[in-house]
């Protein structure tokens, strides 16, 4: 059941009468295992961390698994322009898109351990992860706080997610990088049929990704504030199966998005790219999961469009979406 408050918040309260056993969470040393009536998912808390771990998002309707290295995976903070730092200038990886590191390390590979905070309601489980950056560019502080929320509800084949970053620095055009929804492992397109990018006219066939090409060679999205897309949806259709989609619910949040081939299809997405002051918070919200068609994705997107944040109340065992 959904309510609107002052046209700013969409409140989602646990409906009455739902059996609690429809959603379960099991905590192990290195991961959390989540089971709903529609999804199975694993959140790694040690090793390769952030988001939902590789091959673990299972659509119980079709028994399909995701094809990449994880979903909604977090990297680091960046700004435009080359600097003498660890950011690679290899064209096949990053093209000729000049950028430099602001704060790191790369969370997914270097944070190593994330302690989860778990909130469970009648029909949902929310998992919150956080990490303070420990490396910074010369002249900057290394203490910006990254917080991620992953929200699983009964009755749907997707999950909600969001991140919020509290900046320790004042930076021009600060942005951050994630995998959204996630990359595609394949050999000459053997695992997927199509890629859908809502900012292009039509879906791309798997044949487009048979040979490697750089991020700025094809299919590069760069935000134009005077002409934003109606929706920001990036998805792939599994072979003989459903679509796996990532919906960025504020279409203006994405500053740049790649969909290039580097032995796998690389779904990099960068967000914000605005001037940020010390102590300022910024972030975005998403839907990630399984859909039967592109119209299904669009319908879900329009229902939740404009949401920028997930607010969880552990005491009340409730949550709300903030616009």
Residue ranges per structural domain of the chain? 10-322
For the chain, the maximum distance between any two Cα atoms, rounded to a whole number of angstroms, is: 59
CB-based burial label for 208 (10 Å; 0-12, 13-18, 19+): middle
Please name the residues in contact with 240: beta carbons below 8 A apart, sequence gap of 6 or more. 193
CB-based burial label for 59 (10 Å; 0-12, 13-18, 19+): buried
Q: Would you say residue 99 has pLDDT above 70? A: yes
Q: What DSSP character marks residue 206?
A: G
Strands ordered across the beta sheet of 9-12: 2-5, 9-12, 318-322, 309-313
Instruction: State both tokens at 254.
Output: 């994405």
User: Cα separations (Å) of 206 from 186, 244, 287?
Assistant: 10, 14, 23
Strands ordered across the beta sheet of 73-80: 135-136, 99-104, 73-80, 171-179, 268-276, 254-257, 221-222
pLDDT digits (tens, 9 = 90+) for 188-200: 999 999 999 999 9
Residues 90, 193 contacting (CB under 8 angstroms): no
pLDDT digits (tens, 9 = 90+) for 130-154: 999 999 999 999 999 999 999 999 9
Distance from C-alpha of 179 to C-alpha of 257, rounded to nearest angstrom: 10
For residue 145, give the 3-state DSSP assignment. Answer: strand
For residue 298, give the 3-state DSSP assignment. Answer: helix
User: Would you state the pLDDT for residue 256?
Assistant: 98
Give Cα 209 distance to the centre of its chain: 22
**pLDDT confidence band for 12 (50 / 70 / 90):** very low
Residues 85, 99 contacting (CB under 8 angstroms): no
Please give the angle made by the CA atoms of 237, 283 and 77, to the nearest 5 degrees: 90
**pLDDT confidence band for 262 (50 / 70 / 90):** very high
Q: What is the arithmetic mean of pLDDT over 224-249?
A: 98
Please give the angle made by the CA atoms of 209, 211 and 216, to the nearest 5 degrees: 75
Q: Of 60 and 21, which is predicted with more confidence?
A: 60
Distance from C-alpha of 245 to C-alpha of 309, rounded to nearest angstrom: 19
Q: What is the arithmetic mean of pLDDT over 35-64?
A: 98
Strands ordered across the beta sheet of 24-27: 24-27, 31-35, 39-44, 58-59, 64-65
CB-based burial label for 323 (10 Å; 0-12, 13-18, 19+): middle
CATH 2.70.98.10 fits 10-322, yes or no: yes
| φ/ψ (deg, to 5) at 298 | -65, -40
pTM comes to 0.93
Q: Would you say residue 16 has pLDDT above 70? A: no
């Amino acid at each position: 059941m959904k309510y609107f408050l002052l046209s700013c918040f969409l409140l989602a309260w646990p409906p009455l009468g739902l059996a609690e056993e429809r959603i379960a969470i099991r905590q192990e040393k290195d991961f959390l295992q989540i089971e709903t009536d529609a999804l199975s998912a694993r959140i790694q808390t040690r090793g390769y961390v952030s988001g939902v771990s590789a091959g673990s998002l299972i659509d119980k309707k079709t028994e399909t698994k995701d094809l990449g290295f994880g979903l909604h995976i977090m990297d680091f903070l960046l700004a435009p322009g080359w600097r003498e730092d660890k950011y690679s200038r290899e064209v096949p990886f990053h093209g000729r898109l000049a950028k430099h590191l602001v704060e790191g390390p790369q969370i997914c590979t270097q944070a190593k351990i994330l302690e989860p905070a778990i909130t469970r309601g009648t029909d949902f489980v929310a998992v919150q992860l956080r990490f303070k950056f420990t490396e910074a560019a010369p002249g900057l502080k290394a203490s910006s706080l990254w917080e991620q929320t992953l929200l699983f509800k009964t009755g749907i084949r997707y999950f909600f997610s969001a991140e919020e970053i509290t900046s320790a620095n004042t930076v021009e055009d600060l942005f951050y990088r994630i995998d959204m929804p996630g990359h595609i492992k394949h050999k000459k397109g053997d695992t997927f049929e199509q890629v859908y990018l809502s900012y292009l006219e039509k879906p791309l066939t798997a044949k487009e990704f048979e040979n490697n090409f750089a991020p700025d060679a094809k299919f590069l999205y760069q935000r134009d504030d005077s002409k934003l897309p109606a929706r920001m949806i990036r998805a792939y259709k599994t072979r003989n199966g459903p679509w796996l989609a990532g919906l960025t619910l504020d279409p203006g949040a994405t500053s740049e998005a790649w969909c290039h081939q580097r032995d796998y299809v690389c779904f990099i997405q960068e967000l914000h790219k605005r001037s940020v002051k010390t102590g300022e918070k910024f972030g975005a919200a998403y839907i990630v999961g399984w859909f039967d068609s592109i119209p299904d994705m669009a319908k879900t997107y329009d229902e939740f469009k404009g949401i920028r944040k997930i607010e969880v109340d552990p005491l009340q065992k409730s949550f709300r979406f903030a616009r």
